[in-house]
Structure 1
Amino acid sequence: MRKVIGRFVPERLGSSFRWLLGSSWATNLGDGVAMAAAPLLIASLTRDPFLISLGALIGWAPPLAFSLYAGVLSDRLDRRRIVLTANAVRLAILAGLITMIATGTATVAGALIALALVGITEVFADNTTATLTPMLVARDDLMVANARLQTGFLTLNQLAGPPLGALLFTAGATWPFAGQFLLVTAGLVMVSRISLPPHGREDGARAAGLRQDLREGLGWTVRHAAVRTLALTILIFNITFGAAWSVLVLYSLERLGLGPIGFGLLTTVSAIGGLIGTTLYGTITRRFSLGAIMRVGLILETLTHLGLALTTSPWAASAIFLVFGAHLSIWGTTAVTVRQRAVPAELQGRAGGVNTICIFGGLVAGSLIGGALAARYGVTAPFWFAFTGSAVFVAALWRQLMHITHDEPEAALQG
């Protein structure tokens, strides 16, 4: 067993990274459990579509509202302490929610507020956790480390967590949240075992103010050619992705003729593809440059939208989802590695915050576009929009994409 663990998480990554990996896997499983349990809880308390939709909005709003502030804090303060504090607060909120459910005093308003507060604590914990890997792992090992973190996210958060959460909910509404409580507790204990090098700033350096820190983080991102291109790519491709995926359930029902179970299986197939991608990641990065991997990945995403716009076959769509899932894991791991290599340690939090804003801002904008297009032109219209927009963007930035993996923090500062 030790030999197997050693091959999966090499000794050179260090014991602190292993604790971080264990914590990430535990909390990802807890988040996956809550992913299914939270909407089920709201639906058990009300059948009002507006209130149920608020439950979905709560998942999007905290990252948009708090990511930049979380980034400022993680660049100013002790990052380990931030993660411990955020998870401790999350445990307190979960304890309150569990008590309300167990005593039969839970209301829609109370549940929505509790879930929103849990989401806010996750933003601060997740943003800061993302800054720890480059502090613990050598630069050349970042690809391996991020691939292992991505494996846990796909396996536990996407594959195992949601069905486990639904199963626990059928046994009783308190069980999935009690399970999340235990998993977050385990994650907190493991983070407490991590040893970080000195970081953060002295009190005098913090006096500059929140706005100046925000401007510094945004300004650095805009001036750094590679990171700027990466952020813009993430924003644009999440707009096109969000447009298509916002109507995916209607697409699967009306275009592919699948039922609810079939729709769920598409997500499962995509997650399986992601696992394949993480398994092959080391081999791929030994043979191809990161710039080439990112180019190919964006072409695959563009062709994914085209393939789904054209097909009516569930089998063809499943094959597309399998490849797309592999692309998402490979491209996502590469993007994180590129950003971690390029961004100085004291700006990791704010750069991560900008990245999160681009992700969720793109998804929200894309979902609005996709809904409007589908309502007016049919369920395939968002996929045609996604294909066209992605193709135009890849063509416009084709040359810059080969230089996106520039990883010297001091260089490539172009206006």
Structure 2
Amino acid sequence: MRAWRAGPTFRRLWLASTSANIGDGIGKTALPLLAASVSRDPIVVASLSVFASLPRLVFTLPFGALIDRLDRRTLLVVAHMARGGLLGLLALAVFTGHLYMALLYGLSFVLGTAETLADGTAETVVPSLVEKEHLEDANGALYATSVTSNEFVGPPLGGLLFAALPGLPFLVNALSFLGSTALIWALPSQTTRHALTHQSWWRDVTDGLKWLWSHTLLRSVALLMALTTLLDAAVFALFVLFATALPGVGSVGYGLLLTAGAAGHILGSLLSPYFSRRLGAGRTVLGSVFVLGLVYLGLGRVHAPLLLGALLMLDGLNLGLSGVVKVALRQHLVPPDFRGRVGGAYRFVVSCAAPLGALLGGVAGQTLGLRETFTVAGELALLVGALFVGRVNYRSVIRARQQAHEQTGLL
């Protein structure tokens, strides 16, 4: 794997990310099982996901400013230590029988907050650890191991550990984060020049939003991804109802379909450097929107579970390809002192579309029907892609990279 040749410093981050993501995968299975052992009320259990996802909307922007102000290695250490410590306390609560839903809600919110900080910080650290020609390889490796750990290794391990002893997965989870902390501590310091400034926090946040909005290409990519995220959330908010109603699928088949999507995501992450070099970042990003439209149109027409699995694998492949390329593009174009704030602004714009899309998907599914909603989403995705052909393409990326080189010497 080309990323392994990016150097020993990057390999430490890679191994730390793998350890943390295995822990995340364990928690993905064990935490809902633990909640279900406390309460069988669907609303009470489902609310756990709300508390876990809320920090991404609340803290993405301020954390972007924090990432540019403080040493990024220290922020990663704090985030991973906090997760390890909290999960250790949760394991203790389970072992001693002092477990309540209020405790799970609070822990889910704080764990989600630490995860938001860690994810945003890690993205800004990668460009300082590898040469620019290895960015796509490094990000592809991180994405692939993240999905593998989160979707394939961690969840079944979490289920097995929970079956053996309910507190055990959280103890193992805590140890995985403490292990990743030790690896991150060995990284070089990641302080930026912006840490020496004394402007207000609000000014930092607005600077990130303004920088993103003033950059023609990245503004277009952010808007493009917000629109496709909205459509994706609308489709997959309904997908479980659609898939489980098909003959021969059921709950087991539904899990296999999600596994097919995860396998495609891993493959796409690993292949992304190849496609980026052959097609260019602009064509890869824009092309992913047209592929998304075709996937949605296919969902509106297929009946066979095997074809549905093939579409899910194509969707995952598409997400893996474009996701890595988009991260690397921001790392190439955004100055080091702005990466935290601009990355936070980008993620905020995109993430705001997800809850709105899920809501619209529910309304559309109820009024139009499931297949009709998928078809409309596919047509809209193709329309969105057509609207951005002149803004996100091979020439616009080359032009943006040349401007970045002229202005900051980044490339």
Q: In the alignment, what sits opposite 2:76?
A: 83
Instruction: Summarize deviations over 1:43-86 as a string: whole Å, max 9, x none.
Output: 11101122112112123211111111111000011110111112
Deviations 1:289-346 (A, max 9, x none): 2222222221111100000011111111111111111111111011111111111111
The answer to whether 1:288 aligns with 2:279 is yes
Match 1:357 to one of 341, 344, 348: 348
2:15 maps to what in 1? Answer: 22
2:125 aligned residue: 132
**1:287 and 1:410, CA in 2 relative to 1: closer, same or farther beyond 3 A?**
closer
CA distance 1:304–1:166, change in 2 (3 Å): same
CA deviations over 1:92-143 (Å, ceiling 9, x no partner) = 2212211111111100111111111111111111111111001111211111
Aligned to 1:46: 39
CA spacing shift, 1:102–1:377, aligned 2, 3 Å = same
| Worse overlay, 349-358 or 125-134 | 349-358
- 1:85 maps to a residue whose letter is V
Residue 197 of structure 1, CA deviation: 5.5
Matched, 1:316 2:307: yes
How many Å separate the matches in 1 of 2:348 and 2:32? 24
TM-score, normalization by structure 2: 0.94
**1:154 paired residue number:** 147
Identical aligned residues as a percent:
29
Q: CA–CA distance in 2 between the matches of 1:158 and 1:357? A: 24
Structure 1 CA distance for aligned equivalents of residues 309 and 39 of structure 2: 34
More moved, 269-278 vs 240-249: 269-278
Equivalent runs, 1:362-377 vs 2, <5 Å: 362-377=353-368
Which residue matches 1:409? 404
Change over 3 Å in CA distance of 1:256–1:222 after alignment to 2: farther
Q: How does 1:202-281 map to 2 (within 5 A)?
A: 202-203=195-196, 205-206=197-198, 208-255=199-246, 257-281=248-272
Q: From 144, 167, 170, give the equivalent of 2:137.
A: 144
Equivalents in 2 of 1:380, 1:104: separation in Å? 46
CA distance in 2, matches of 1:183, 1:393: 42
**2:25–2:158: 8 Å Cα contact kept in structure 1?**
yes
Unaligned runs of 5+ in 2: none
SS at 1:398 equivalent: coil
After superposing the two structures, state which structure 1 stretch, 84-93 or 114-123, moved more. Answer: 84-93
Give the Cα separation in 1 of the matches to 2:377 and 2:188. 44
SS of 2:153's equivalent?
helix
Contact 2:56 2:113 in 1 (8 A): yes
What is the aligned partner in structure 1 of residue 49 from structure 2?
A: 56
C-alpha change, 1:198 and 1:67, in structure 2 (3 Å) is closer
Question: Residue 9 of structure 1 aligns with which residue?
Answer: 3
Alignment of 1:115-126 (within 5 A): 115-126=108-119
RMSD after superposition: 1.8
Give the aligned partner of residue 4 of structure 1.
none
> Does the 8 Å contact 2:213/2:219 carry over to 1?
yes
TM-score by structure 1 length? 0.93
Name the CA distance, whole Å, in 2 between partners of 1:256 and 1:229: 41
Q: Distance in 2 between matches of 1:82 and 1:239?
A: 31
Contact in 2 for aligned 1:136/1:196 (Cα 8 Å): no
Give me the whole-angstrom Cα distance separating, in 1, the residues matched to 2:188 and 2:373: 47
Task: State how far apart, in whole Å, the 2-side matches of 1:411 and 1:52 are.
Answer: 53
Asked if structure 1 preserves the Cα contact closer than 8 Å seen for 2:272 and 2:322, the reply is no
Query: Which has the higher mean CA deviation after the structures are superposed, 385-394 or 97-106?
Result: 385-394
Query: Structure 1 residues 46, 341: closer, same or farther in 2, change over 3 A?
Result: same
Take 1:214 and 1:373, find their aligned partners in 2: how far apart are those partners?
A: 35
1: CA distance between counterparts of 2:72 and 2:373? 40
- CA 1:411 to 1:315, structure 2 compared with 1: closer, same or farther past 3 Å? farther
- Residue 3 (structure 1) aligns with: none
Mapped contact 2:3–2:134 kept (Cα < 8 A)? no
Equivalent position to 1:385, from 363, 376, 387: 376
Report the CA distance between 1:234 and its aligned residue.
Answer: 1.3
Correspondent of 1:397 among 388, 399, 410: 388
* Contact in 2 for aligned 1:77/1:200 (Cα 8 Å): no
* Counterparts of 2:42 and 2:207, CA distance in 1: 42
After alignment, is 275-284 or 171-180 more displaced?
Answer: 275-284
Residue 178 of structure 1 deviates from its aligned partner by: 1.2
Partner of 1:176: 169
Could you tell me how far apart the structure 2 residues matched to 1:45 and 1:213 are? Answer: 42
Q: Which amino acid aligns with 1:361?
A: C
Displacement of 1:385 after TM fit? 3.2
Give the AA of the match of 1:173.
P
